[in-house]
Amino acid sequence: AQKITQTQPGMFVQEKEAVTLDCTYDTSDPSYGLFWYKQPSSGEMIFLIYQGSYDQQNATEGRYSLNFQKARKSANLVISASQLGDSAMYFCAMRGAYNQGGKLIFGQGTELSVKP
């Protein structure tokens, strides 16, 4: 069975500082994808970044980067230069190549608060 674990229910960061949100996963699929989503209080789920299990380099998208350590089964999200608008719920998710019809497995989420 596939599983995603986010161990930080809530985090605080000072504006302009970097922050790391932890995510570990478990799967027996040889091929899988890892995703991070941001959900502000307004409700929409915003896709941030993707990392494939065979990707040699860590994914980056603007201020977001994914610290992928395959042997440790971790896929931590790093947000550089935090902004007040980064305050939101962040979900790590996984999708296996052979799982049921594209089902996303979500972690419990981390609520990030950025302080001015």
User: Which tokens is 97 given?
Assistant: 């190549």
Q: Which of residues 55-84 bind other proteins (CB under 8 A)?
A: none
- Establish if 104 lies at the interface with other proteins (CB under 8 A): yes
Identify the residue among 28, 43, 56, 116 touching other proteins (CB under 8 A). 43
Strand partners, 10: 111
* Stretch of residues binding other proteins (CB under 8 A), selected from 57-65, 66-74, 80-88, 107-115: 107-115
Tell me which long-range contacts 46-53 makes (C-beta under 8 A, separation of at least 24). 48/77, 49/77, 51/75, 53/29
- Establish if 33 lies at the interface with other proteins (CB under 8 A): yes
Q: Which of residues 81-100 bind other proteins (CB under 8 A)?
A: 89, 91, 95-97, 100
